[in-house]
Amino acid sequence: MDVIPVIDVRHGTAVAAARGDRANYRPLETPLASSSDPVAVARGFAELFTFPVLYVADLDGIEGRGSNASLAADLASAVPHARIWLDEGARPHEAAQRIAEGVAMPIIGTESLAGAADVTALRALPPHAYVLSLDFKDDRFAGPPAVLAEAEHWPHSVIVMTLARVGSGEGPDRGRISEIVSRAGDRRVYGAGGVRGRPDIEALHRAGAAGVLIATALHRGMLKAGDLGEIAGL
């Protein structure tokens, strides 16, 4: 079972995500780092546990203000043992460039897809070379309906992102994650949003999830190194 720590970045600063209300995210304060510099936060995660993957949301890119150009390379250099999963609002043609660069695994969030042309281009990408984030806002799917409907076109790794539960402490959307798992075949499904600690992670494991994306619980000390080691063995 993979636990993947998350760093949300706006204007070069790590911020605390809450319920997908991005306009009100504030600079992150965490006992794991002395500042809200994303590199410091990444190193803080690495000191807590040897996570195999680090997920980074470049909010400037997602919101169309231009991406933090060196962010992926800076984090890859800071935590060389971890693969970087990067969500920067990339559409398929932009993700193809990221794949060619090889610095980070691009995340394609369905909220960033514009229509039929993007859906067609998405199907042409190598399924092992990117991660698809199925984004849900206000309990509704955010993106072209065909992407959600046609599981046969999903890549090898899929995130179920429930934005309203991010940083909420309300627990993950187990029903939705279970439904996606039931349709995903042998693809790896990751739950994101609301994961509070070990009981939630174990429940999602029983539901068939391959892993979780998590931030708040790590910053609040709800998961210790020993827990993370045991969870990795599930």
Which pTM does this prediction carry? 0.95
Least confident span in 138-142, 154-158, 176-180, 229-233: 138-142
Task: Please determine, for residue 71, whether its predicted confidence score (pLDDT) is greater than 80.
Answer: yes
pLDDT per position as a tens digit, 32-50: 999 999 999 999 999 999 9
pLDDT per position as a tens digit, 104-154: 999 999 999 998 999 999 999 999 999 999 999 988 999 999 999 999 999
Provide the domain count of the chain: 1
Residues of the domain holding 79: 2-232
Structure confidence at residue 139 (pLDDT): 81
**What is the DSSP code string of the chain?**
-EEEEEEEEETTEEEE--TT-GGG-EE---TT-SSS-HHHHHHHHHHH---SEEEEEEHHHHTTS---TTHHHHHHHHSTTSEEEEES---HHHHHHHHHH-SSEEEEEGGG--SHHHHHHHHHS-TTS-EEEEEEETTEE-S-HHHHH-GGG--SEEEEEEGGGTTTSS---HHHHHHHHHHSTTSEEEEES---SHHHHHHHHHTT--EEEESHHHHTT-S-HHHHHHHHT-
pLDDT per position as a tens digit, 199-230: 999 999 999 999 999 999 999 999 999 999 99
Report the CATH number at residue 220.
Answer: 3.20.20.70
pLDDT per position as a tens digit, 1-36: 999 999 999 999 999 987 767 777 899 999 999 999
